[in-house]
Structure 1
Amino acid sequence: MKLSHSSKPAGLAALVVAAMTTWTSPALALTATEINAVNFADRNKVVEPGPNPFIVKAQVLLSRRSVSPGVIDGFDGENFRKAVAQFRRQERLPDGEDIDEQAWLNLGGDTANDVIAEYTLTDKDAAYDFADAIPRDYAKQAKMKRLSYTSPQEMLGERFHMSETLLTALNPRQAFSEPGLRIAVASGRRSSEKGAALRVDAIKSTGMVMVLGADDVVLASYPATIGSEDTPSPSGEFKIERIARNPNYTYDPEKNFQQGKNTETLTLPPGPNGPVGTVWIALSKPTFGIHGTPEPAKVSKTNSHGCIRLTNWDAEDLADLVKPGVVVRFVE
Structure 2
Amino acid sequence: MKHAHIALLAAVLCAPALAATPLTADSVNGAGKSATAKPGKPEILRAQILLDRAHFSSGEIDGASGTNMRAAIAGYQKARGIAGNGALNAATWAALNADSADALTTYTILDADVAGPFQPIPEEMADKAKLPALGFASAEEALGEKFHASPALLKALNPGKDLARAGEQIVVPNVLDTEPLPKGGKIVVSKSGRTLTLLDTAGKTIAQFPASTGSEHDPLPLGDWKVNGISKNPVFHYNPKLFWDAKAGDTKATIPAGPNNPVGVAWIDLSKPHYGIHGSPMPASIGKTQSHGCIRLTNWDVATLVTAVGGGTAVQLVQ
Q: TM-score, normalised by structure 1?
A: 0.85
The question of whether the paired residues in 2 share the 8 Å contact of 1:138 and 1:259 is answered with no
Counterparts of 1:257 and 1:271, CA distance in 2:
25
Note the alpha carbon deviations across 1:268-312, whole angstroms, 9 max, x for none. Answer: 111111111111111112210000011101101111000000000
Q: Gapped runs of 5+ residues in structure 2?
A: 1-19
Secondary structure of 2:153's counterpart equals helix
Counterparts of 1:260 and 1:147, CA distance in 2:
21
Secondary structure of 1:165's counterpart equals helix
The question of whether the paired residues in 2 share the 8 Å contact of 1:117 and 1:184 is answered with yes
Partner of residue 102, structure 2 = 114
Q: State whether structure 2 residue 316 is matched by structure 1 residue 329.
A: yes
Q: State whether structure 2 residue 172 is matched by structure 1 residue 185.
A: yes
The question of whether the paired residues in 2 share the 8 Å contact of 1:29 and 1:170 is answered with no
The question of whether the paired residues in 1 share the 8 Å contact of 2:194 and 2:213 is answered with yes
Counterparts of 1:148 and 1:242, CA distance in 2:
24
Q: How far is the alpha carbon of 1:192 from its aligned partner?
A: 2.3
1:88 to 70, 77, 85: 77
Note the alpha carbon deviations across 1:12-68, whole angstroms, 9 max, x for none. Answer: xxxxxxxxxxxxxxx98532122112234473376xxxxx11111001111111111
The aligned amino acid for 1:31 is T
Cα RMSD (Å) of the superposition? 1.8
Counterparts of 1:28 and 1:150, CA distance in 2:
32
Note the alpha carbon deviations across 1:243-278, whole angstroms, 9 max, x for none. Answer: 111111001122344433343111011111111111
1:58 to 39, 44, 47: 47
Q: State whether structure 2 residue 226 is matched by structure 1 residue 232.
A: no
Counterparts of 1:128 and 1:70, CA distance in 2:
24
2:116 to 116, 128, 131: 128
2:28 to 35, 43, 49: 35
The question of whether the paired residues in 1 share the 8 Å contact of 2:279 and 2:297 is answered with yes
Partner of residue 248, structure 2 = 261
The aligned amino acid for 1:206 is G
Counterparts of 2:72 and 2:219, CA distance in 1:
24
The aligned amino acid for 1:38 is A
Shift of the 146–316 alpha-carbon distance from structure 1 to 2, 3 Å rule, reads same
Percent identical pairs in the alignment equals 37
Q: State whether structure 2 residue 267 is matched by structure 1 residue 285.
A: no
Partner of residue 76, structure 1 = 65
Counterparts of 2:155 and 2:199, CA distance in 1:
36
Shift of the 29–128 alpha-carbon distance from structure 1 to 2, 3 Å rule, reads farther
Correspondences of 1:82-231 after superposition (within 5 Å): 82-108=71-97, 112=100, 114-131=102-119, 133-189=120-176, 190-193=178-181, 196-231=183-218
Q: 4+ runs of 1 displaced by more than 4 Å? A: none
Counterparts of 1:39 and 1:258, CA distance in 2:
45
Secondary structure of 1:225's counterpart equals coil
Q: Gapped runs of 5+ residues in structure 1?
A: 1-26, 47-51
Identify which range, 64-73 or 302-311, moves more after superposition: 64-73
Q: TM-score, normalised by structure 2?
A: 0.88
The question of whether the paired residues in 2 share the 8 Å contact of 1:253 and 1:262 is answered with no
Shift of the 296–45 alpha-carbon distance from structure 1 to 2, 3 Å rule, reads closer
Counterparts of 1:28 and 1:61, CA distance in 2:
19
Counterparts of 1:178 and 1:265, CA distance in 2:
39
The question of whether the paired residues in 1 share the 8 Å contact of 2:21 and 2:27 is answered with no
Counterparts of 1:182 and 1:273, CA distance in 2:
26
Larger radius of gyration: 2
Counterparts of 2:144 and 2:295, CA distance in 1:
22
Secondary structure of 2:221's counterpart equals coil
The question of whether the paired residues in 1 share the 8 Å contact of 2:33 and 2:97 is answered with no
